[in-house]
Amino acid sequence: MKEIKAIIQAFEEAEKNGEQTALATVVKVVGSSYRRPGARMLVTENGVLTGAISGGCLEGDALKKAQLVMLKKQSMVVTYDTTDEDDAKFGVGLGCNGIIHILIEPIDPHQEHHPITLLKACLEDREPKVLATFFDLNQQRKPQVGTCWLKSSQAFINSNALPTGFSQRLTSMADRVFAEKKSWIAPLEHQQVFLELIEAPLHFVVVGAGNDAIPLTQMANVLGWEVTLIDGRENHANTNRFPHLNTIKVMESEKVVDALKLDKRTAMILMTHNFNYELQVLKDLLPISIPYVGILGPKKKLLKMVENLEKSGKKLSEEDKDKLYGPAGLNLGAEAPEEIALSIISEVKAVLAGEKGTPLREKSGPIHEEERN
């Protein structure tokens, strides 16, 4: 989502300056590549790049193709075969072993629902969306339908480029993406369509504005997470100490949960170093509806909190306990505040992604699952 925000901002700046733009999107990968389907890069006519479609290996050639797309005002699909041992033709050693298909589309700002407007619609609320992008690998240099359809749980948007009669079929496909929570590449007549699940950015609620919260919120901010910082102490929770944050709340513990909009893409860490403050917040969270609640400190602290809650008549279900992570963080051997922050950030990312946080070398298969076809 951070990349999408940057692309939208770059497009708006280019439009203000009267510059043409093109959007490059990874639509399909066979084998290994640095970026997966859904990776994007905006290119301006002056050669400014925002986002990335590889680890830096393909951008130079893609820039030339994008400038051609802007000149002809016609989209195309470009294929890079990094399984070819003679990768000198790209000017670098790619270090990958896959075939990467990239759709490059000229952006017409006068079109009502061009690809950037559809990306903007993804940011309007925290509802998950499915974005449909058509491409034809058999006729790569022919004009492509491209990014033309977006659906949320309540409504959909389609551009004039969408072929007649496709919307109902796309709706059925999108419902499958919502149900399985996975993107999907599917054949549709003579073309293929990349049905991309776009979820809301992770909302990271940090309860506690001590010194150890500074590197934690900085790291979360770099990742593009939406960070809310909460503390009862105004001299701790302020923009002088946290200039990188937009949302800082100073409030009593009893008001914390009511002040938040919690959803399935929300994670919370309790790190005020004030046992009673955190106990009240945890009490108000029950039953826990978010996937991650971290408790900074030793295991006995969490056990004591659970004991106090149960003595007060707030019995935690097994499902509630499964969402509590205390001590918070992965076992990285962390000591310094920055290391502890990395440990917590890593655990939150793993939990929200449904992973265990184990070393990649222990995976028997590829790093990424293949997109379904």
At 339-350, the pLDDT tens digits run 999 999 999 999
Is the pLDDT assigned to residue 207 strictly greater than 90?
yes
Identify the pLDDT of residue 190: 87
Specify whether domain 203-352 bears CATH 3.40.50.720: yes
Identify the pLDDT of residue 88: 47
Specify the amino acid at residue 242. Answer: F
Give the DSSP H or E segment for 43: strand 40-44
Count of CB atoms within 10 A of residue 89's CB? 10
Question: Between residues 352 and 156, which one has the greater pLDDT?
Answer: 352
CA dihedral 244, 212, 236, 274 (to 10 degrees): 140
* Both structure tokens of 139: 């006729």
- pTM of the predicted model as reported, rounded to 2 decimal places: 0.88
Q: CATH 3.40.50.720 residue ranges in the chain?
A: 203-352
Tell me if the bond preceding 327 is cis, omega within 30° of 0. Answer: yes
Is the pLDDT assigned to residue 84 strictly greater than 90?
no
Mean pLDDT of 275-291: 97
* Both structure tokens of 161: 């480029």
Per the CB < 8 A criterion, the answer to whether 38 and 196 are in contact is yes
Q: Is 76 helix (H, G, I), strand (E, B) or coil?
A: strand
